[in-house]
Amino acid sequence: MNDQLDPKAILAALRTVLPKDTNNVALHEPRFSGNESAYVKECLDTGWVSSVGKFVDRFEVQLAEYTGAKRAIAVVNGTAALHVCLLLVDVQPGDEVIVPALTFVATANAVTYCGATPHFADSAFTTLGLDPGKLDAYLQKIGEVRGNNCYNKKTGKRIKAVIPMHTFGHPVDLDSLIEVCTRYRLVMVEDAAESLGSFYKGRHTGNWGKVSALSFNGNKIITTGGGGAILTNDEELGLRAKHLTTTARVPHPWELAHDMVGYNYRLPNINAALGCAQLEQLPSFLMKKRALAEQYRAALDEVKGVTFFTEPGHSKSNYWLNAFLLDEQESDKRDALLELTNRNGIQTRPAWTLMHRLPMYESCPRMELSNAEDLSRRLINIPSSAVLGEPYGEA
């Protein structure tokens, strides 16, 4: 039948977008075409490579400026940023924290580091992130607000926070989610690891929750090698974040004293130097990614059985990692398609294994997760490096 999905037709469509002169296209590659070498060399020449130096301060100021957050605190990676975010909003051992089942494992791990339990929630088809409507209906059944806290009627535990994650850079439905969080007295902490450069209703993601986490891992839209940042509009929390991530050292000209158990999470100057250079190129990366997404959309529009995922309403996505969905009746062709594309040098990948399917999280509380289950059967990520959005022939 000719109305069925043909994996070869998808491969051909992808090839019309991707460079012709290579048979090895990665899912996501970093690009260092700016001041990276100059800034890193400056660190080496001055000896300021580690915990002190001007690039850390500069990176933090520039991140705050770009995102519109009052304070940005640079840390060693996005996972550490999430961990500290949860400590800052007082997630305690024994608490539960709502986390999407469809996310990278770090979101759930950060909850576990605090001695709390991740509680898995379903995703929306429109955003690929937390579904506020389903969460509301679920909390009506299992949640109970007492005083300024929400409790899980089934486990008796406090549900302290919700961590929406902006999947592949696409903002979640923040207005609706904030309304649910307010009604149930839940603190919102954004996992904005994938969404630097993404805006919801004109305001940057990671600038809506009480605190939020960014990542600059090697595969993210900008990279510092490894790195992350905490964003907040609360001056007090910003100061505490800095203190907690720098071993809680008490400022003093020569004495080494600490007033609590802190963490050695601060970003080294040499990594921040990379970050400053990468941030200068973010606007150009965003333009190229948008151009690439548009090319994919047009090419895949011509193919039966698939839909390219485009930014949700009210949002401007960074299109960090492009994705398409197989039609429901075609999901059994997913693995054949992954096999065919990878064998032909085009790196593709399914969505993450859902959190409640991982051995350490299979007994955690969760709501009915039919959307996430469905998405994980039908979603495929395709090569998304900024360089692929440049007109062919350009360096």
Ligand X SMILES: *Cc1c(COP(=O)(O)O)cnc(C)c1O
Q: Using the minimum distance from each CB to ligand X, give the nearer residue, 18 or 74.
A: 74
Residue 145, phi then psi, degrees to nearest 5 = -90, 120
Residue numbers 104-143 binding ligand X by CB under 6 A = 104, 106-107
Which range of residues in 47-55, 77-85, 170-178, 383-391 is near ligand X by CB under 6 A?
A: 77-85
Q: Using the minimum distance from each CB to ligand X, give the nearer residue, 232 or 381.
A: 381
Residue numbers 182-221 binding ligand X by CB under 6 A = 191, 193-194, 215, 217
Q: How far apart are CA 75 and CA 263, in angstroms?
A: 10
Which range of residues in 51-59, 74-82, 121-129, 374-382 is near ligand X by CB under 6 A?
A: 74-82
In the complex, least distance from residue 218 CB atom to ligand X, rounded to whole angstroms: 8
Residue numbers 143-162 binding ligand X by CB under 6 A = none
Q: Using the minimum distance from each CB to ligand X, give the nearer residue, 43 or 74.
A: 74
Which range of residues in 10-18, 100-108, 273-281, 356-364 is near ligand X by CB under 6 A?
A: 100-108
In the complex, least distance from residue 107 CB atom to ligand X, rounded to whole angstroms: 5
Q: Closest-CB residue for ligand X?
A: 78
6, amino acid identity? D
In the complex, least distance from residue 256 CB atom to ligand X, rounded to whole angstroms: 28
In the complex, least distance from residue 194 CB atom to ligand X, rounded to whole angstroms: 5
36: contact with ligand X by CB under 6 A? no
Q: Using the minimum distance from each CB to ligand X, give the nearer residue, 165 or 188.
A: 165
**Residue of the chain from 7, 30, 53, 78 that contacts ligand X (CB under 6 A):** 78
The answer for 186, left when phi > 0, alpha when psi is -120 to 50, beta otherwise, is beta
75: contact with ligand X by CB under 6 A? no
- Number of alpha carbons in the 13 Å side-chain half-sphere of residue 20: 4
**Which string of b and e fits 93-114 if b means at least 16 CB within 10 Å?**
eebbbbbbbbbbebbbbbbbbb
In the complex, least distance from residue 165 CB atom to ligand X, rounded to whole angstroms: 5
Q: How far apart are CA 190 and CA 178, in angstroms?
A: 11
Number of residues interacting with ligand X: please give it, by CB under 6 A. Answer: 14
In sign, the C-alpha dihedral spanning 166, 297, 339, 389 is negative
Q: Which residues pair with 149 in a beta bridge?
A: 146
Q: Using the minimum distance from each CB to ligand X, give the nearer residue, 56 or 193.
A: 193
Which range of residues in 40-48, 71-79, 246-254, 270-278 is near ligand X by CB under 6 A?
A: 71-79
**Residue of the chain from 17, 59, 85, 103 that contacts ligand X (CB under 6 A):** 103
Please report the DSSP string for 226-239 in residue order.
S-EEEEES-HHHHH
Which range of residues in 99-107, 136-144, 176-184, 230-238 is near ligand X by CB under 6 A?
A: 99-107
- H or E stretch at 207: none
Contacts by 27-30 with C-beta closer than 8 Å and gap 24+?
A: 27/219, 27/321, 27/347, 27/348, 27/349, 27/381, 27/382, 27/383, 27/384, 28/219, 28/320, 28/321, 28/383, 28/384, 28/385, 29/385, 29/387, 30/218, 30/219, 30/223
Residue numbers 224-253 binding ligand X by CB under 6 A = 228
Do 223 and 279 form a contact (C-beta atoms < 8 A)? no
Q: How far apart are CA 240 and CA 314, in angstroms?
A: 33
In the complex, least distance from residue 77 CB atom to ligand X, rounded to whole angstroms: 4
Query: What are the tokens at 285?
Result: 């990366």
In the complex, least distance from residue 216 CB atom to ligand X, rounded to whole angstroms: 7
Residue 135 CA: distances (Å) to CA of 141, 191, 252, 322, 352: 10, 17, 48, 26, 21
77: contact with ligand X by CB under 6 A? yes
In the complex, least distance from residue 235 CB atom to ligand X, rounded to whole angstroms: 25
The binding site for ligand X (CB under 6 A) comprises 77-79, 103-104, 106-107, 165, 191, 193-194, 215, 217, 228
